[in-house]
A = this chain, B = another copy of it.
Amino acid sequence: MELIEAVLAGERLALARLLTQVENDTPLGRRTQAALFAHTGQAHLVGVTGAPGTGKSSLVNQLARLFRRPPPPDGAAPPKVAIVAVDPSSPFTGGALLGDRVRMRDLAGDSGIFIRSMAARGALGGLARATSALVQVFDAAGYEIILIETVGAGQNEVEIAGLAHTTLVVEAPGMGDDIQAIKAGILEIADILVINKADRPGLENTERSLRAMLELGRPKIQPEEKDAAGGPGWTPPVLSTIATTGSGVEEVYQAILRHAEYLRQSGEWQKRDRIHLQVELEALLQETLVARWRSRVPQETFRAMLDRVFERQISPLNAVSELAQFDVNYVKD
């Protein structure tokens, strides 16, 4: 297939076309994605997540620049870098587009960087699925570093972080107490903690509370969470940056490289890859089973049952028990 070859050969236009097909979940996109799958599994996926206003985008841009830094004279070529920005704003407002334009300006002129924004989908789990699909395309196209940026701290972000080998959680000083609850949830997925906007007041407080939460979490998490090689595991570093000036970003970059090294040596890399593929298989299977049910049971059957539920003649649980039977009793003509 032409498109596949063009993408594998590194043609940007073909890549952009394929990404659109995959994001829109077209038959061509699905076919091509399946064919490219054999070429995946090479990239280092780095998730960057955190609350709005923490300056994730600037940090991601700076990191992309460091990965693309000219290598020493005897070195190999720098890795190709993809940025996938997952934006939960409505497509209607064009938030994703706007973000793209700002980035384009920052990183323009480097053909080794490819930036793609995507807006949240309506479907449950749709966003994580779609992100995973885009990441696979970049991986197959030879992008060795894939930075996945997500805004927020909800279920979606935790799922998307689940795609990554390395997850950065970005904070900023001076967040209210109310945000502590969210931090607690998201801290459990952090491999590297970054306090960005470190020139703002409140840095020491934020640092102290993050370290306290880490210490709280670790003793309970570690005993059963030894790495695949039985080693002591990875202790998330807490790093401070001012992404707008670049201050401290080099240390974050180095921590990412160290974490990649740790993942490879401990066997955690393969373990995480396997978990991620399992989650993807399960989500796809769920989607497939529902689609099959739909193709076998007429819309009117569902609607008639919904009427009965609406009239409180039958409970949702009992209604679904009945509906599921239609599928089983289906006989192919």
Contacts and interface: CB of A to CB of B under 8 A. Distances in A.
Interface string A113-148: 000000010001101000000000000000000000
A320 interface: yes
Contact of A154 (B38, B54, B157, B309): B157
Interface string A30-60: 1001110110110000000001111000000
A67 interface: no
Nearest to A87: B181
A176 interface: yes
Contacts of A30: 317
Interface in A41-95: 41, 51-54, 87-90, 92-93, 95
Contact of A277 (B124, B156, B316): B316
Counting chain A residues whose Cβ lies within 8 A of the other chain, the interface size class is 35 or more
A37 B321 CA distance: 15
A37 B312 contact: yes
7 contacts: A34-B316, A37-B317, A93-B185, A95-B180, A124-B159, A153-B154, A280-B316
A182 B280 contact: no
A295 to B, nearest CB: 12
Nearest to A36: B315
A188 interface: yes
A181 B53 CA distance: 11
A288 interface: yes
Nearest to A98: B181
A157 B87 CA distance: 16
Most buried by B among A38, A185, A278, A327: A185
